[in-house]
A and B are shown apart, each in its own frame.
Chain A
Amino acid sequence: MTFEHVGPALLLAALAAAAARGLRRDIVIAVSVAAGLLALVPLGGPSIAGYMLALPGTLSAAMLVLSAQLLLRAAKAPIPAQPSNMFLACLVICGLVLYAPAAGLVIVDGYDLGFRGLAVPLLMAVFVVAGWLARSGDVAVWIAVSALLYVTGAHSSANLWDYLVDPTAFIVACAALIVRAVPARAQRRVNVENSDTTRS
Chain B
Amino acid sequence: MPIGRAGVGFGSNRRRFFRCRTRVEKACGTSYLSAAYGGPALFAAGPGRYDAGLLRSRTGVQVWRHALALAALALTGIAAATAWRAPGWPDAFVVPAQPPACGGVASFDSQILRRAAPRVAHVASAIALRDGRLRAFWYEGDRELSPDVAIMTATLAAGRWSEPRAIADARSTGAALGRYVRKLGNAVPYRDGQGRLTLVYAGVSLGGWSAASLNIIRSADDGETWSAPRRLVTSPIFNISTLVRSPPVAMRGAALIPAYDEMIKPFPQAIALADDGRVIGIRRIGRQANALQPDFIVTGEKSATAYMRSRGTAKAWSGATTDAGLNWTELSPTRLNSQDSPLMTIDIGDGLLLNVHNAPEIVTGLAGPLTLALSADGGVIWRDIYAFPTDRGDTRYPWLTVGADRNIHLLYTHSTEPGSELVHVRLTKDWLAARGGPACQ
Contact = CB atoms under 8 A, between A and B. Distances in A.
A binds B: yes
B236 A125 contact: no
A135 B24 contact: yes
B83 A118 contact: yes
Given A55-B238, A102-B235, A104-B267, A79 B26 contact: no
Contact of B75 (A118, A122, A151): A151
A134 interface: yes
B63 interface: no
Interface residues of B, number: 72
Interface in A79-126: 79-86, 88, 98-99, 102-105, 107, 109, 111-112, 115-118, 120-122, 124-125
Contacts of A199: 40
A192 B130 CA distance: 76
B32 A116 contact: no
Contacts of A162: 233, 236
B60 to A, nearest CB: 13
Contacts of B175: 45-46
A104 B282 contact: no
Given A54-B205, A144-B72, A150-B79, A138 B178 contact: no
Given A2-B178, A45-B180, A158-B280, A121 B29 contact: no
B232 to A, nearest CB: 8
Given A58-B239, A144-B68, A160-B79, A80 B280 contact: no
Contacts of B82: 150-151
Nearest to B231: A156
Contact of B44 (A53, A88, A150, A200): A200
Contacts of B27: 85, 134
Contacts of B230: 156
A167 interface: yes
Interface string B223-267: 000000011110111111000000000000000000001011101
A53 B179 contact: yes
Interface stretch (B283-291, B357-365, B389-397): B283-291
A49 to B, nearest CB: 8
Contacts, number: 224
A27 B233 CA distance: 39
A81 B35 CA distance: 10
Contact of A50 (B86, B89, B179): B179
Contact of A140 (B44, B69, B236, B261): B69
A115 B65 CA distance: 30
A144 B75 contact: yes
A104 B265 contact: yes
B206 interface: yes
Nearest to A131: B69
B178 A5 contact: yes
Interface in B15-42: 24-36, 39-41
B83 A117 contact: yes
B133 to A, nearest CB: 33
A196 B30 CA distance: 14
Given A121-B80, A141-B68, A103 B178 contact: no
A177 B173 CA distance: 39
B75 A143 contact: yes
A190 interface: yes
A72 B88 CA distance: 41
Nearest to A54: B205
A121 to B, nearest CB: 4
- Pick the most buried of A51, A137, A138, A196: most chain B CB atoms within 10 A of its CB: A137
B84 interface: yes
Contacts of A85: 27-29
Contact of A107 (B39, B235, B287): B287
Given A50-B178, A144-B75, A167-B236, A116 B86 contact: yes
Given A80-B35, A107-B287, A57 B69 contact: no
A56 interface: yes
Nearest to A116: B86
Contact of A53 (B36, B71, B178, B263): B178
B78 interface: yes
Interface in A141-190: 141, 143-144, 146-148, 150-151, 155-162, 165-167, 180, 190
14 contacts: A5-B178, A47-B178, A54-B179, A57-B240, A80-B34, A84-B29, A86-B29, A99-B236, A118-B83, A118-B84, A121-B80, A132-B66, A144-B75, A166-B236
Given A54-B181, A102-B235, A166-B236, 17 more contacts: A45-B175, A53-B178, A54-B205, A115-B279, A116-B87, A116-B280, A121-B83, A132-B66, A134-B28, A135-B33, A140-B72, A143-B76, A150-B79, A156-B230, A156-B232, A160-B79, A197-B43
